[in-house]
Amino acid sequence: GESVGLHLPTLSVQEGDNSIINCAYSNSASDYFIWYKQESGKGPQFIIDIRSNMDKRQGQRVTVLLNKTVKHLSLQIAATQPGDSAVYFCAETFQGAQKLVFGQGTRLTINP
Amino acid sequence: DVKVTQSSRYLVKRTGEKVFLECVQDMDHENMFWYRQDPGLGLRLIYFSYDVKMKEKGDIPEGYSVSREKKERFSLILESASTNQTSMYLCASSPTDRVEKLFFGSGTQLSVL
């Protein structure tokens, strides 16, 4: 059976540095990947997405990289700010699916 | 501003009680979802609905049921609450053509004693 209360992976960075949050996925059929940000006391919020026909996509201060060969996804946050403190989730889906599958999440902590 | 509203932020219930968690969205979305969130396990899908009166089991439906009588409202029901259902419950909605872009409520922290 499943257990609860497992330790959440944590990443600590200095304010102003760049952050890289990694995610591994397992379903080779997945062709659409998304990052969500969850601030304390709130529900997750969509940040950025990428389709499998791309290997990089940029947003405002965020970049998502996709490596399909090793089934790896990363979220890069430039010049990390205190407001970036949150839990970040990757999610995957495929065409025709009606649901997302989420990763376990990574807690990003910003040091002043 | 678009909104997904969950009726309670915190709930405390006793083992064996029937529990209703309510969720309302104002975006006219077809899809609605219930997830539970436990540290280190991410978000796990309990049930979802892609239309009124339609429901589909997610990955962990045991011990739960749902109701969708109106498009804007999706209810999660714990028929007989147990301590292992203590968790954060998150409701979300999305339009039919953008299932990946979920809009989440703020969550209900349920404690079953």
Per-window interface: A 89-108 vs B, CB < 8 A: 89, 91, 93, 97-105
| Res. B103: pLDDT tops 90 | yes
Residue of B nearest to A6 (CA): B40
Is the CB of residue B92 less than 8 Å from the CB of residue A43? yes
pLDDT in tens, B32-88: 999 999 988 889 999 999 999 899 999 999 999 999 999 999 999 999 999 999 999
Whether B107 and chain A come into contact, CB under 8 Å, resolves to: yes
Lookup: tokens for A25: 């996925």
Residues of chain B neighbouring A52 (CB-CB closer than 8 A): none
| Res. A8: pLDDT tops 80 | no
pLDDT in tens, A63-77: 999 999 999 999 999
Provide CB contacts within 8 A for A95, sequence distance 6+: A31, A32
Is the CB of residue A88 less than 8 Å from the CB of residue A75? yes
User: What secondary structure letter does DSSP report for A82?
Assistant: G
pLDDT at A17: 96
Provide CB contacts within 8 A for B77, sequence distance 6+: B18, B19, B20, B21, B64, B65, B66, B67
Distance CA B94, CA B50 (A): 9
